[in-house]
Amino acid sequence: MQHRSPQLTPELRDRTFRWIADDVDGDSRTELQNLLARAMAGDDDATSELDDRMSGTLSFGTAGIRGPVRAGPNGMNTAVVVRTTAGLAAWLAQRNPGGTVVVGRDARHGSERFATAAAEVLDAAGFDVKLLPRPLPTPVLAYATVSLGACAGVQITASHNPPADNGYKVFDNTGIQIIPPADSEIEAEIAAAPASVAVPRGRGVQVLDDEVLNGYLDRVATLATSGAKDLRIAVTPLHGVGGAVVVDAFRRAGFTDVHVVDAQAEPDPDFPTVTFPNPEEPGATDLLLQLAENVDADLAVALDPDADRCALGARERNGTWRMLTGDEAGVLLGDRLLARTSVENPLLATTIVSSSLLAEVARARGARHARTLTGFKWLMRAGEGLVFAYEEALGICVNPDFVKDKDGVGAAVFAADVAAEAKSRGLTLLDLLDELMADHGVSVTGQVAPRFADLAERAAVMERVRANPPTTLAGVAVSTEEIRDAGALKISGDQLRVLIRLSGTEPKVKAYLEVTAPPPGPDGLTEARDAALETLRALRDDVAALLSS
């Protein structure tokens, strides 16, 4: 079929002119004017780009908005942030008029001006606005929302998205990310908001000092309770905002032998040493593991750019280093926290895509366990007595009493304490994980997550699997069921499980894989795990073929 060139229609041209006239930011106006001029001169690429920028708006969901930093309604820019905040302010005014709102930011492109614009709109709308003093981790904003008694918190961040992106995340008055129907209600208010140039902006914003940050760090330090401090730590913030904060947190907890990956230590919105600034991505932690080897570390820690996620690395018995999966780290830290908690009838929570092993650990210790939909907005609402929550995508909360969200810094400090205690007994984190699997069952997990440039193609792949589900995977007979609340497919058979869903933050189809085996005891662990890993490899190949476009 012959490819048709995009057309600069009068409607697209006029819509662009109207947006330019109403845009509050001079640089964005110039950016769109130049793009429109190229389109009017017959540049097909410019016309296609202009159509993409003007054909819709960033959708406001429970994770707020995320998108590329660029001019136009379908991008992250000051005009979009101003209108988004006007909608949020209108929604909040119906519930907490005049309340406190805390605004924070990471160090991505545009974050400073977006945070300032959001704070000024909220100030003009009559809220008592507190602006965090500099780029800081998202868990600091979550902590500040609760500690300052705010009715909402706003963090400008795109978390671990590619460098071109930025985003806008909202926490409610409980310090937890919003859930439906708040998202659709706020989106309706955004749609009703005036053009950005007509939105009032105040100048009474209070910029906070370090009191809130110090309060957060002091609380994080209390997570280290074992008394063991002999530990050498290698750490990377992956060019994000967690570097100085996590080093300070380690120091306050008594861990002073800390080594940071120099090339990734300072915030850099271009993330020059990694393809994707996500500790889950292949190659992202290569420099960290090399540093851990070079300094003979006991523990390796990687934070994502806004420091709400934490990945752990440990040395194998053969001397090589590897990163733990999110499930391995989650089960390990959940077990250790459960062993230490003084909460009566404690609750541990994971998501439907995470390992089943934590449920077995909780059951053996007489604790409660819950599985929720994906996302910390659901995990933090799992029930009373919650002491620990994790999701396989490296989100861990060991401190829900003062941060009601995933907290990479808190998880790093607690992991260091667990590792130091294990070292004092001649053990490593991997030894502790072996003990858990020997006693409670083998669980090995993995993921297949193809990335799609075309979102329509991504949706088509999901629909094809839904219409023609497999009958066998990895040589095992399987059945398929729809998990409607999650928009996911669950495919399961004897000792294996696959859950497939569309990612809410990345252009991926995500398939979460798990292979299990009954508790083998210490003597049978190696054989049972090797067999499970072999099945997992076959399962990964079959699922990758299933999701191929």
Residues that are catalytic: 159
Tokens representing residue 13 in the block: 């041209």
- Residues in Cβ contact with 153 at an 8 Å cutoff, skipping those fewer than 6 apart: 101, 102, 103, 104, 141, 142, 144, 145, 170, 171, 175
Three-class SS state of 247 = helix
Q: How far is CA 114 from CA 186, 296, 426, 532, in A?
A: 18, 42, 49, 48
CB distance 311 to 333 below 8 Å: no
Nearest to 88 by CA among 142, 129, 146: 129
Per-residue DSSP letter, 7: -
- d(C-alpha 460, C-alpha 156), whole Å: 32
Q: How far is CA 215 from CA 39, 229, 429, 538, in A?
A: 53, 22, 29, 49
DSSP per-residue codes, 129-166: EEE-SS---HHHHHHHHHHTT-SEEEEE--TTS-TTEE
Compute the C-alpha angle 396/398/404, nearest 5°.
80
Tokens representing residue 477 in the block: 């007979």
CB distance 234 to 300 below 8 Å: yes
> Can you say how many angstroms the Cα of residue 137 is from the centroid of all Cα atoms in its chain?
12
- d(C-alpha 16, C-alpha 481), whole Å: 45
CB distance 156 to 272 below 8 Å: no
Full strand arrangement of the beta sheet holding 165-171: 65-68, 165-171, 152-156, 100-105, 128-131, 206-207
Sign of CA dihedral 67, 137, 294, 263: positive
Nearest to 143 by CA among 178, 92, 104: 104
Nearest to 524 by CA among 451, 458, 437: 437
Sign of CA dihedral 134, 136, 141, 143: negative
- d(C-alpha 474, C-alpha 462), whole Å: 20
Q: How far is CA 392 from CA 239, 324, 330, 406, in A?
A: 22, 11, 7, 12
Find the length of the chain: 549
**Cross-strand partners of 170:** 154
Full strand arrangement of the beta sheet holding 395-397: 368-372, 347-351, 386-391, 395-397
